[in-house]
Structure 1
Amino acid sequence: MDMKIAVIGGTGLIGSQVVKMLQAEGHEAVPHSPSTGLDLLSGAGLDDALKGADVVVNLSNSPTFDDASPAFFQASMDNLLAAAGRHDVGHAVVLSIVGVDEVPDLVYYRAKALQEQLLAAGPVPYSIVRATQFFEFVEAVLSWTADEHTVRLSPTPIQPMAAADVARAVADVSAGRPLGGIRNVAGPDVFTLDELGRITLEAKGDPRKVTIDPAAGMFAAVPGDAIIAKEGAVIAPTHYRDWLAKH
């Protein structure tokens, strides 16, 4: 059955790919974002976006990872769920993070966990897709704790995946029946973050050295294997080294 699917954050890294995938399958997938006149925080444009929609996919993100992020997710979800209820939307999908409820020391993870709770408690049948970190963000992670000679990285276990594989998982769930729960998706390989850094620098011909610093960067706050694939997770096909070779 072809459906009308409103994709909020539909012009971003994941959203633009989700829209293309759903359209290729015959669905009427419509991207919505600030550039199309949608403001989740004020609610402006939401009624127009959700009118006649069978499914709403929320890929919007807080503009910051700091103490302002819980307020963003609270307000945006309140507005979204109220509008989805008004327009009898039959399925709401949110993209979240594997292990998001196991990292209490990161305010952004607490904010995303709040987003999940609001969705689950809301009036609309729902699905949560939890993904691991994206390959596309590895360079940014390295830049947070780097100088001209050294990149300091924690030995946190990480199981990254390609944004295209994340988009595929979101598109598949969006076109299906509401899960009423969580689907975990992850990359095929587990690395420590410092190991991932070395692989990345070597592939790019970057002469800087990686040093292990258990206190460096955001992922230092992650306990144990918290952000590694859970039992029953869907394992994505793309390997990091293969992806690096093409990018």
Structure 2
Amino acid sequence: MRIAVLGGTGLIGSRVVRDLDAAGHQAVPHSLSTGVDVLSGQGLDEALDGADVVVNLTNSPTFDEASPAFFRTSMDNLLAAADKGGVGHAVILSIVGVDRVPALDYYRAKVLQEDILKAGPIPYSIVRATQFMEFMDAVLSWTADADTVRLPATPIQPIAAEDVAAAVAEVAAGAPLNGVRTIGGPEILPLDELGRLTLSHRGDSRTVVTDPTAGMFAAVEGDVLTDADAHLAPTRYADWLA
């Protein structure tokens, strides 16, 4: 199959392209650097013309109140180009629990992206993943100073980017789900404990202080970012750190 991967040069997209090519498909990466702009629509018609599948892994440049506009415009442009180009399957990557954290602008924006896809003319699949292991450095930086890192004890089910990409590639190569597949890491750990494991592994002497008001994940109540019934990926956090 010919599969267009928008955002195909990024953390997940580059791996999805690699996995699809290895499986015998023709995966074509598209991004701003290749002349495809999902906001202006530039290059989209050409990128999707004749593609069997489109995988959209583009992301808003901000996580604030501007993010819904990005997803609305980009999805409207994508679906129009996909319909024109005869694409038979559209895939997006979303977040486990995204519809259960209304306090976060970015999560509301991702729900909007899902809703636009569901209402569109193209058979679709949504892959919802738990939090990426690769994002831990960013999470630690949000509430860190020279001596401490403040983190809430929010339950997290970390998943490696390699495992996310494998799941997205598998879904893209299959029949449209017209629904959602959830994927997650093999273990659930409190975010503050993940912080301690990360700093200890790296020989970082800073102390992790449990603070239920610290950072973006302070807005998350309960265990909504985890899913015990998800398709479980193999990579454990300690193994990924190693």
Query: Does the alignment reach a TM-score above 0.5?
Result: yes
Q: 1:185 aligns with which of 154, 165, 183?
A: 183
Residue matched to 1:213: 211
Residues of 2 paired with 1:154 and 1:225: CA distance?
12
Q: 2:166 aligns with which of 147, 151, 168?
A: 168
Residues of 1 paired with 2:152 and 2:135: CA distance?
16
Residue matched to 1:148: 146
Once the two structures are TM-superposed, the CA of residue 230 in structure 1 deviates from its matched residue by 4.8
Question: In the comparison of the two structures, how many residue pairs are matched?
Answer: 242
Residue matched to 2:114: 116
Contact 2:49 2:84 in 1 (8 A): no
Counterpart check, 1:238 vs 2:235: yes
CA displacement, residues 14-34 of structure 1 (integer Å, 9 cap, x when unaligned): 000000000011101000000
CA displacement, residues 50-86 of structure 1 (integer Å, 9 cap, x when unaligned): 0110000000000000110000000000000011111
Residues of 2 paired with 1:144 and 1:179: CA distance?
36
One-letter identity of the residue aligned with 2:202: K
Once the two structures are TM-superposed, the CA of residue 87 in structure 1 deviates from its matched residue by 1.0
SS in 1 for 2:92: strand
Residues of 1 paired with 2:170 and 2:228: CA distance?
19
Residue matched to 2:43: 45
CA displacement, residues 173-212 of structure 1 (integer Å, 9 cap, x when unaligned): 0000000000000000101000000000000000000001
Residue matched to 1:61: 59
Distance 1:234 1:145, change over 3 A: same
CA displacement, residues 88-122 of structure 1 (integer Å, 9 cap, x when unaligned): 10000000000100000000000001000000000
Residues of 2 paired with 1:17 and 1:94: CA distance?
15
One-letter identity of the residue aligned with 2:13: G
Residues of 2 paired with 1:76 and 1:198: CA distance?
38
Counterpart check, 1:81 vs 2:92: no
Once the two structures are superposed, the pairs formed by residues 85-96 of structure 1 within 5 Å of their partners are: 85-96=83-94
Q: Give the TM-score normalised by structure 2.
A: 0.99
SS in 2 for 1:49: helix
Residues of 2 paired with 1:20 and 1:100: CA distance?
27
Residues of 2 paired with 1:58 and 1:235: CA distance?
22
Residues of 2 paired with 1:166 and 1:174: CA distance?
12
One-letter identity of the residue aligned with 1:28: Q
Residues of 2 paired with 1:149 and 1:72: CA distance?
37
Residues of 1 paired with 2:241 and 2:193: CA distance?
14
Once the two structures are TM-superposed, the CA of residue 219 in structure 1 deviates from its matched residue by 0.5
Residue matched to 1:129: 127
What is the RMSD of the two structures over their aligned residues, measured on CA atoms? Answer: 0.5
Gaps of 5+ in 1: none
Once the two structures are TM-superposed, the CA of residue 148 in structure 1 deviates from its matched residue by 0.4
Residues of 1 paired with 2:32 and 2:190: CA distance?
36
Residues of 1 paired with 2:204 and 2:25: CA distance?
43
Gaps of 5+ in 2: none
One-letter identity of the residue aligned with 1:238: T
Residue matched to 2:99: 101
Contact 1:184 1:230 in 2 (8 A): no
Q: Which aligned runs of 4 or more in structure 1 are off by greater than 2 angstroms?
A: none
